[in-house]
A and B are shown apart, each in its own frame.
Chain A
Amino acid sequence: MNLSAHERVLIARHPQRPNAREYIDALFTSFFEMKGDRLCGEDGAILGGVALYHGRPVTVIATRKGRTLEENLRGHFGMPSPEGYRKAQRLMRQAEKFRRPVITLIDTSGAYPGMQAEERGQGEAIARCLSEMSALRVPIVAVITGEGNSGGALALAVADRVLMMENAVYAILSPEGFASILYKDASRAAQAAGVMRLTAPDLMALGVIDGIIPEPAGGAHADAAGAMRALDAAITAQLDMLSGKSGETLAAERYDKFRRMQAYTTLAPCASQGDEHEQAD
């Protein structure tokens, strides 16, 4: 499909697009949900647990956009709080203990920007996810199924393989947030989407993701079963490639994968120490 970046944003957010619960029900058997971060709370925006995937035990962690208003209010419309990220960390450590692969499904407009989330260390919770995932000694496959915005999405995407659904978007921030910061005008989101390089083909070209999962004609919402089949085939292929590797090899290769996220140049060394300018008050 030849779609603009902004059109893909709209498809990624389509209300009928399959959500985490539906993907999990379609792809896994014996899914057992595990709640709570074992510190102080439970966050409905993260759905996690154990399941069988074509007969093999796996840990599944997903951001959850609800179908009903009630579900959505419980999980801040799929925007996780620190408790959600800490639950994810707990489930990942548990996966390592029982040596089962981790599969994450990501569809979030970002981490929840609320007062209580800040008080309980939203930044620390995300940072700790990045740290834990970078060193985890089991295979991790992450799939951006819809929106993957900001550190809130990255917190579940430090994986051996990062895949995107064809119409998913993955970015530093929502196009609205980006436009409001750079253009001081959130309504210029469509324009922002055009320069952000947030589509799957863009990110493939930048070397940020490892594969694109084709969607049925019209998008995943037009043929959910077709989307599930494509997702299933992609995850299976990646897990097969990763399953023979030792924990040490996986962690080392994962480190190198993110270590290679580079883009810089070198300038002639600055001769002066720079005049000491006043900081803007």
Chain B
Amino acid sequence: MTDVFEKRRYRLRAMKKLLSSYLPADQMTACPKCQREMPIREKEDHLGVCPYCGYHWPLGAQKRLQMLMDGGAYTELHADLAASDPLEFPGYGDKLADARKKTGMAEAVLTATGEIDGRACVVCVLDGRFMMGSMGAAVGEKLTLAIEYALENRLPLIIFSASGGARMQEGILSLMQMAKTSAAIRRFGDAGLLYISVLTDPTTGGVTASFASLGDVILAEPGARIGFAGPRVIEQTIGEKLPYNFQRAEFVMEHGFVDAVIERGKLRAALADLLRVHEGGRT
């Protein structure tokens, strides 16, 4: 049996080589879960979901919105707001510059308005490529401004989380963003408005312990890691290896903290349904 698979892997590698020699632009990528190789284009055609095993690659914020919003169109809010390195933390400035270059974003969250299936809403997307989607004071401020904008305009709010948690380089000020965003969500909710939290891989630490866990509806992408403490820390505490499914979206749903696990390809339809049911909110 192993021989067959080895041969197949060898053929795949050979094919990849051949392909890349003819199509230099068409690079290959491998699924981190099932290890199958495929052209990047094929991965993109499947919305960043492995066509063989269903693995969901993390998705950049701009792509997420293009995929989600009507006609791929959205208007960005506070696009220029960015971290200021308030503690003058060694090396932070360079890290920020790298992340900005890599993502074309000023910060780890993109906040926008647009329509989903004809219904106006505010959508915020954390981007894991930008310093692991971590929440510093600028991310907290952008989120809070977006929440307040949604409240003022009585629009439903959708936040896609993808974050390692609070941003270490801004220390206590990052921690305070947990309180700030949670307070803003509370005020928004008390006004009778709908907040849908979508947890994508990974959602951990201070983001899980604040706005991400406070949705009226909480959705998750398949296989997304969702938790407060990181798996390494837990393994150190209990002194054993954690099972693969621990803290995965399906596991978290079984324990009662997620309403539904929804494949990326069906998310737009699910959100459209939820917006339709909640249309108008409390008046």
Contact = CB atoms under 8 A, between A and B. Distances in A.
Interface of A: 111-115, 117-124, 126-128, 130-131, 134-135, 150-151, 154-155, 157-158, 170-173, 177-178, 181-182, 195-198, 203, 206, 208, 254-255, 258-259, 261-270, 272-279, 281
A224 B283 CA distance: 55
A276 B129 CA distance: 10
A173 B229 CA distance: 11
Contacts of B60: 274, 276-277, 279
Interface stretch (B14-22, B101-109, B272-280): B101-109
A279 B129 contact: yes
A240 B242 CA distance: 50
B185 A182 contact: no
Contacts of A130: 178-179, 182-183, 209-210
B237 A123 contact: no
Query: Chain B interface residue count: which class?
Result: 35 or more
Interface in B21-75: 29-30, 32, 40, 57-60, 62-63
Most interface-central of B58, B87, B228 (chain A CB within 10 A): B228
A264 to B, nearest CB: 4
Nearest to A172: B175
A121 B173 contact: no
A115 B80 contact: no
B229 A117 contact: yes
B82 interface: yes
A79 to B, nearest CB: 9
Interface of B: 29-30, 32, 40, 57-60, 62-63, 79-84, 86-87, 89-90, 100, 102-106, 128-129, 136-138, 140-141, 144, 166, 168-180, 182-187, 190, 205-206, 208-214, 226-230, 233-234, 237-238, 242, 246-247, 255-257
B172 A258 contact: no
Nearest to A157: B179
Contact of B168 (A151, A181, A276, A281): A181
A196 B173 CA distance: 10
B172 A171 contact: yes
B171 A135 contact: no
B159 to A, nearest CB: 13
A268 B80 contact: yes
Given A121-B257, A274-B103, A154 B214 contact: no
A127 B214 contact: yes
B83 A134 contact: no
B229 A261 contact: no
B174 A172 contact: yes
Contact of B176 (A111, A178, A208, A267): A208
15 contacts: A118-B227, A127-B178, A127-B208, A128-B213, A130-B183, A134-B182, A151-B205, A151-B209, A258-B179, A259-B184, A261-B173, A263-B83, A270-B79, A273-B62, A281-B32
Most interface-central of A118, A171, A258 (chain B CB within 10 A): A118
Contacts of B62: 273-274, 276
Q: Which 9 residue pairs are nearest across A and B when measured between Cβ atoms?
A: A274-B104, A123-B208, A113-B229, A134-B183, A130-B182, A263-B86, A261-B176, A123-B228, A263-B137
Nearest to A153: B175
Contacts of B100: 267, 270
B228 A264 contact: no
Nearest to B61: A274
Nearest to A181: B168
Contacts of B105: 270, 274
Contacts of B184: 259
